[in-house]
Amino acid sequence: MGFLDDVQGTLDRGMNAARGAVSTVAGEQLGFVRGFCRMCQDGWELGYHERNGGNASYRLTPADLNSARSFFYDAPSSWVAMGVTVPEMAGEHLLVTGSGKFLRNVKDDPVANSGIVEISPSGDAWRIVWGLKDGARPTSEIGAHVATHGVRKQATDGAARVLYHAHPNALIALTALLPADARTLTRLLWSCVTESVIAFPGGVGMLPWKVPGSADLANATAEVMREFDACVWQLHGVFASGSDFDEAFGLVNAIDKAADVYLRARAAQGGNANLPFAISDGDLRATASAYDLPLNETFLS
């Protein structure tokens, strides 16, 4: 019996390994996983993710969860406290990038550099149910992601599902020249690129520098994003929300392009901050009217 038991044990281990390999490959081919990978790759190619900079998360739909559940681990990881409590996110599942992982590698090896975490019934902890293999953990800013998903879920009646944090060069450089004030930043971005008011008619939020990954940053970001689709972190980067990957990535791209155009125009006139032919408030109102945009009038004169 001992010999037969050994043979059966070997067969069982082989079958489990085979099932795990098939599960991993299939899991990586899920549509929302591929979309997530593309967003990370697009950001890397634009220089938004130096080293292990930046992170992202996606809140799964019920259909996504149904398609992914068969690939979940038989034994999830232990629960880990987040440092924040978000009742609105209880029981939700997020696809997230890993802590210390390079976003350039997500596309080539999603299961090592990202994973799906489940949020606890009390909304204050996470556990890994797929991916993040070999002891990897979700992004160190998981608290900010969960807290912000909670408020964006409420603010958009569940439509917002993507959060994308990037480190765009021009935008970070611009924050070194400005006070941490949403109105100042937004008006400047609106004034130098016509498409800006179309991309973010509600404006862009902004926070002064805070310790990365801290509960203070998580809570402050969530509060700002009750009102705004994006929050700029001074000397750090931007945190943006969207209903899908294109919307979240496109918002970051539009904000950074406007910052880059402003800095180029400012440099071209010797550093003078006043652009002689900036878009006027009247022009902004006319554009908003033409495109039926929810313009944030509190940011206009």
- What's the pLDDT tens digit per position in 243-282? 999 999 999 999 999 999 999 999 999 999 989 999 999 9
What CATH number does the domain located at 2-172+199-258 have?
A: 3.40.225.10
pTM of the predicted structure, to 2 decimals: 0.89
pLDDT tens digits along 214-243: 888 888 999 999 999 999 999 999 999 999
The full length of the chain comes to: 301
| CA–CA distance, 99 with 117 (Å, rounded to integer) | 13
**Average pLDDT, stretch 286-301?**
96
**What tokens does 213 get?**
């990954």
| Residue 4 pLDDT grade (very low, low, confident, very high; cuts 50, 70, 90) | very low
Q: Give the start-to-end residue ranges of the domains of the chain.
A: 2-172+199-258
pLDDT tens digits along 177-223: 999 999 999 999 999 999 999 999 999 999 999 998 888 888 899 99
Contact present, 239 and 142 (Cβ < 8 Å): no
**Residue owning tokens 């944090």:** 165
Element (H, E) at 111: helix 110-113
Sheet holding 55-59, edge to edge: 80-81, 125-131, 114-119, 93-97, 55-59, 162-166, 237-242, 230-233, 205-207
Radius of gyration of the chain (CA): 22
Confidence at residue 25, expressed as pLDDT on a 0 to 100 scale: 57
Q: Which of 141, 142, 155, 144 is nearest to 116 (CA)?
A: 142
| CA–CA distance, 204 with 168 (Å, rounded to integer) | 15
| CA–CA distance, 276 with 265 (Å, rounded to integer) | 10
Active site residues: 141
